[in-house]
């Protein structure tokens, strides 16, 4: 058997194993981020403006009342929004930031997992032998 052909998969496996070690370390870091998250609220904060029911009010001439804090989110594909009490804005903001931090980490976790799975499949394909 030619040594060049035999050493190519080995170096390939070596680089794949090295990449897997890096991915494993990243998974641990991501896991710490997700486990460290505190209470979360789904959604995004935004400011909204409103019109009132008084027909002669300035808001009916284009200068609406506000801004008022609100949160928007989706439930089963349906967009929803709710006003937020001014006293709750900072707490809600912190909890939505935690949610977004968790979601970002979870998205990265899934990508790292998929890449790891592909590498492990390739290693298996290279290493598997069938008894003759």
Q: Is residue 48 part of a domain?
A: yes
Q: Is residue 19 part of a domain?
A: yes
For 24-64, where are the E strands, in sequence order? 44-50
- With 70 as the cut, is the pLDDT of residue 7 above it? no
Q: Is residue 132 part of a domain?
A: no
- Identify the residue with better confidence: 2 or 34: 34
Give me the numbers of helices (H) and strands (E) for the chain, helices first please. 2, 3
pLDDT on residue 9 = 53
For residue 62, count CB atoms less than 10 angstroms from its CB and return exposed for 0-12, middle for 13-18, buried for 19 or more.
exposed
Q: What's the chain's length in residues?
A: 132
Q: Is residue 38 part of a domain?
A: yes
pLDDT on residue 24 = 96
Q: Is residue 43 part of a domain?
A: yes
Instruction: Please write the tens of the pLDDT for every residue from 23-58.
Output: 999 999 999 999 999 999 999 999 999 999 898 898
Domain that holds residue 21: 7-127
Number of domains in the chain: 1
- What global pTM score does this model have? 0.77
Instruction: Please write the tens of the pLDDT for every residue from 95-131.
Output: 999 999 999 999 999 999 999 999 999 999 999 999 9
- With 70 as the cut, is the pLDDT of residue 6 above it? no
Q: Is residue 28 part of a domain?
A: yes
Contact 48, 19 (CB under 8 A): no
Backbone angles phi, psi at 32, to 5 degrees: -60, -40
pLDDT on residue 77 = 93
Q: Is residue 49 part of a domain?
A: yes
C-alpha distances in Å from residue 32, one per residue of 19, 36, 37 = 20, 6, 9
Q: Is residue 1 part of a domain?
A: no
pLDDT on residue 11 = 64
C-alpha distances in Å from residue 127, one per residue of 5, 103, 120, 130 = 14, 36, 10, 10
pLDDT on residue 62 = 84
d(CA 128, CA 132): 13
Mean pLDDT computed over 81-98: 96
């Amino acid at each position: 058997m030619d040594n060049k052909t035999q050493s190519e998969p080995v170096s390939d496996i070596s680089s794949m194993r090295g990449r897997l070690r890096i991915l494993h370390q990243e998974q641990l870091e991501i896991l710490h981020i997700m486990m460290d998250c505190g209470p979360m609220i789904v959604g995004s904060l935004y400011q909204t403006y409103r019109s009132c029911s008084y027909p002669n009010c300035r808001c009916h001439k284009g200068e609406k009342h506000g801004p008022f804090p609100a949160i928007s989110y989706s439930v089963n594909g349906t967009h929803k929004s709710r006003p937020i009490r001014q006293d709750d804005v900072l707490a809600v903001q912190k909890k939505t930031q935690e949610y977004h931090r968790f979601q970002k980490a979870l998205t990265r976790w899934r990508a790292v997992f998929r890449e790891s799975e592909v590498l492990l499949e390739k290693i298996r394909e290279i290493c598997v032998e069938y008894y003759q």
